[in-house]
Amino acid sequence: MRRVMIIGMIGSGKSSLIKALTDDAKQVTKTQSLVYLNGLIDTPGEYAENPLFYRSLMATSHQAAAVLLVQDATRDRCGFPPGFAQGFPIPAVGAITKADHPSANADRALQLLRQVLHASEIILTSSHANIGIDELRALLERFTQNK
């Protein structure tokens, strides 16, 4: 099965995004380990924040058709090191999360994520307000379906 692996800082909204994308009814709780669900691979934020886990992310990426890098719109830093997206043997795309949040800054988030993703597609989303979810699902289906 062709999957998309979702990577981002702790609490950036990865699992909430997966819940919105898949209409999953379960409540979102802290992700403790890799979770495989409906063609997506959820990862704990610790894996993105601690370079000791990068090897594990790279190994897992071999089971995926693409990686989705998540940037929290309320955060003023990116957290991914330069060149992070190029380290994967598969395409990388991006999602900005929490667009609905009172302290969200979409332009800042886009700038931060652009530094890592360059020309790749980046979609502005909110799992809570259902912004950009259909668009993101369609983008990811390009990787999970056909080919």
Ligand X SMILES: Nc1nc2c(ncn2[C@@H]2O[C@H](COP(=O)(O)OP(=O)(O)OP(=O)(O)O)[C@@H](O)[C@H]2O)c(=O)[nH]1
Where along the sequence are the contacts to ligand X (CB under 6 A)?
A: 8, 10-16, 28, 30-31, 44-45, 97-98, 100-101, 126-128
Q: How far is the CB of 15 from Mg ion (least distance, A)?
A: 3
Task: Mention every residue, 6+ apart, whose C-beta is less than 8 A from residue 145.
Answer: 2
CB of 122 to ligand X, least distance (A): 16
In whole angstroms, how close is the CB of 20 to ligand X at the nearest point? 8
- Quick check: 127 binds Mg ion (CB under 5 A)? no
Under the binding rule (CB under 5 A), the answer on residue 31 touching Mg ion is yes
Residue number with CB closer to ligand X (2 or 101): 101
- Which of Mg ion, ligand X, none lies near 101, with the C-beta cut-off 5 to 8 A by kind? ligand X
**Three-state secondary structure readout of the chain:** CCEEEEECCCCCCHHHHHHHHHCCCCCCCCCCCCEEECCEEECCHHHHHCHHHHHHHHHHHCCEEEEEEEEECCCCCCCCCCCCHHHCCCCEEEEEECCCCCCCCHHHHHHHHHHHHCCCCEEECECCCCECHHHHHHHHHHHHCCC
Q: CB of residue 141 vs ligand X: minimum separation in angstroms?
A: 21
Nearer to ligand X, 3 or 98 (CB): 98
Query: Which range in 29-37, 59-67, 105-113, 117-125 contacts Mg ion by CB under 5 A?
Result: 29-37
